[in-house]
Amino acid sequence: MPEGKFNPDRPICRRGIVARDLINGMVYIRHRRFSSRIINRESWSFLQLCDGRDLEQLSSAVTQLLGFALTPEQLTSSIREFADRGVFEGTSDNSRSYRICDATPVVSKLSPLVRWVASRWFAGLTLLALLGCLTLLVIDWRRFITSVASAARERPVESLLLYYLTFIPIALLHELGHAAVANFHGGEVPEIVINSNGHFAVITNMTVLKGRRALVWYLSMGTVVDVFIWLALLTAFHYRNNYLLLMFLLPQTIYFLIFSYSIFKNSDYLKFVCALLDQAVPAHPWKFLRDSWSSSPKESAKRKLLWVMTVSLGIKLLVTVFLIWTFIKTEPKVLVLYLIYRIMVYIIGHWASWWRRWTNHVSAKDPG
């Protein structure tokens, strides 16, 4: 944060913030200098109180607003949190996304389908579609591996870029699947954004997801969309070996083989399993696994969660080793390109924060 512009003892909320009231006491806020987000009404009222008054005056005003007092630590923590989001004058957003458009027109047309999709018969149909995907993948496995090896060998640069780019529209459809469920239950979806890593996301009011059934379908709908996209791509590949088609199929296949059932990075899969078992999502999955295996949980649901996470991790490791071994034998260049891709994704995802740190460092050295 540029020195001399933001005073944490006298925070000033940015002027010109567009605010829109949502249901369940939530507020959607957006401004060209920070990522749009949905906060509760009390937080929005707190931000409006941040007009340059000192912390003592701010604390008194917040007490009148909430009906109870915040400790100095709670107050400074709230200020620091909003400062990291770029909401105050002189601050910058640590995780930037950019508004594309209002998601409401698109999602409102999709959400009526949830009445039919969020049902047991469609869950069964999705399971059959997934089995169909795995069957097609096994049937065409040798041709698939050979095609990937050929693409890495003959078109390395194009394949690297397309692997990244072709996943973006599919990821958007995945997010719209989640958003459609929230909208069906009454939640607003005010914005589609693009993150600093180039991927799309959808700003959604999730407070409407009260029951377990609604939450389970919300968490799973993105994967449901992915299953049918994967099935369409595999079916097309079964009948036609096309390079561009392969570039759409490859990231989707890697996603399902390795990442769709990941228990890390706050994954939808882990949230889905926890929702089914009525358990809190472990904040630190590795620590949960270590602690639970050293001392077995007494609750049956926690033991089930432990086993699901362990089996999922075991399958992920086996499949990863199998893929590495397959491409070592077939075309090691595939693994080299994938490593470059991971480095590229990391750089794309962090360049904005690196740039802010550098500019802030320069500003601190040369305040004039």
Residues 295-332 have pLDDT tens digits of 989 899 999 999 999 999 999 999 999 999 999 999 99
| Span 211-258, pLDDT tens digits | 899 999 999 999 999 999 999 999 999 999 899 999 999 999 999 999
- Enumerate residues 6+ apart whose C-beta is below 8 A from 362: none
Specify the pLDDT at position 196.
Answer: 76
Among left, alpha and beta (phi > 0; psi -120 to 50; other), residue 324 is alpha
pLDDT confidence of residue 364: 60
Residue 213: how many CB atoms within 10 A of its CB?
11
Whether the predicted pLDDT of 357 surpasses 80: no
pLDDT at position 365 over 70: no
Q: What is the pTM of this model?
A: 0.88
Residue 255: DSSP 8-state: I
pLDDT greater than 50 at residue 1: no
Distance between CA atoms of 6 and 200, rounded to whole angstroms?
30
Alpha helices in 194-284 (DSSP H): 212-239, 243-254, 268-277
The DSSP letter of residue 112 is G
Residue 367, pLDDT score = 53
Read off the pLDDT of residues 83-109 as tens digits, 9 standing for 90 and up: 999 999 989 887 788 888 889 999 999
Buried-state track 179-191, b at ≥16 Cβ within 10 A, e below 16: bbbbbbbebbbbb
Write down the pLDDT at residue 210.
Answer: 87
Per-residue pLDDT at 2: 43
Q: How confident is the model at residue 130 (pLDDT cuts 50, 70, 90)?
A: very high
Q: What pLDDT does residue 164 have?
A: 93
Question: How far is it, in rounded angstroms, from Cα 63 to Cα 75?
Answer: 11
> Is residue 123 scored above 60 in pLDDT?
yes
Instruction: Please state, for a pLDDT cut of 90, what percent of the chain lies above it.
Output: 80
The DSSP output letter for 282 is P
The pLDDT of residue 366 is 60
Question: Cβ distance 30 to 17 under 8 Å?
Answer: yes
